[in-house]
Amino acid sequence: MYQKERTDIILNILKENGYTTVKFLRETLHYSNATINRDLTILENQGLITRSYGGAELTEAKDVPIEFRYHKMKMAKNHIGKFASDLVNDGDTIFIDGSTTAESMGKYLVYKKDITVITNNMQLAIFLGEYGIKVICTGGEIVEAPSMLSGDDTIMCIKHYKTDKMFFSSGCISLDGKLSGSGIYSLLHQCAMENADKIYYLADHSKVGESMPIILCDLEKVDMVISDYAFPEKTKKKFKNTKFIKV
């Protein structure tokens, strides 16, 4: 297969999915990592894609399928998840949303004692349950296969529980402190915020941007932002009651 044919196929995969990994391309195209990386470098130099840890996305892509989001910014998410988990005290009741960023807390929470985790992420619920963590899975409709739940039943469940802490993410956070919302998760997030004593927003640097058709809230409602991005002093001064942590 000629290089142009491969790059065309890679672009088609990205147009369909928004994001892909080197591993996925290697297994799909049956070429070596070195060849795939050379193809991705060509596309990056043409300004068509943006490289990230272990993969690539279309320059303008925003919606990324769940199976690829697990690989995107994996190292940053692990650092964020570790720091966030350290904020959970033994005996806490917490809400963790269905984002892959918040899910990264899971492997660090297994060492906590007497905590209760409420989540709309079935995969996280199963994982924590296997370690004896008390988990309340919200139920509801599968809106992102295979394990993310939302809908009326999900929201009704969340309304029933008061939590000590809420951990969540979203598609984007702007430098002027606006958090993007999603049609399938916005009301869920709002209800969880209303019932939480402390609210923590988790976001790797790829989520810092300006484009957001739906606004969930601004940082006045958030107690802490945990990110691998160093937010400018202008943003910090605007939201004096919000703590910014760079991991």
pTM, two decimal places: 0.73
So what's the pLDDT on residue 61?
46
Q: Are 31 and 2 in contact (CB under 8 A)?
A: no
CA angle 19, 69, 148 (to 5 degrees): 130
So what's the pLDDT on residue 180?
85
From the list 227, 91, 77, 217, the residue with the least C-alpha distance to 163 is 91
**Residue 147 contacts by C-beta under 8 Å, 6 or more apart in sequence?**
98, 121, 122, 123, 124
Asked if residue 193 has pLDDT above 60, the reply is yes
The answer to which of 16-20, 95-99, 223-227 has the lowest mean pLDDT is 16-20
Structural element, H or E, at residue 19: strand 19-21
DSSP 51-107: EETTEEEETT-----HHHHTTTTHHHHHHHHHHHHHTPPTT-EEEE-S-HHHHTTHH
Asked if residue 29 has pLDDT above 80, the reply is yes
Q: Are 148 and 66 in contact (CB under 8 A)?
A: yes
Mean pLDDT in the chain? 89
CA pseudo-torsion sign 227, 101, 210, 52: positive
Q: Read off the pLDDT of each residue in 228-233 and give the average, rounded to a whole number.
A: 94
Q: Which residues, listed in sequence order, are joined to residue 222 by a DSSP beta bridge? A: none
CA trace torsion 32, 33, 35, 36 (10° rounding)? 120
Q: Are 172 and 204 in contact (CB under 8 A)?
A: no
> Residue 177 has what DSSP assignment?
S
- Portion of the chain with pLDDT greater than 90, in percent: 60
Q: How far apart are CA 26 and CA 84, in angstroms?
A: 34
So what's the pLDDT on residue 8?
87
Asked if residue 63 has pLDDT above 80, the reply is no
Q: How far apart are CA 91 and CA 140, in angstroms?
A: 26
pLDDT in tens, 123-150: 999 999 999 999 999 999 998 878 999 9
Asked if residue 211 has pLDDT above 60, the reply is no
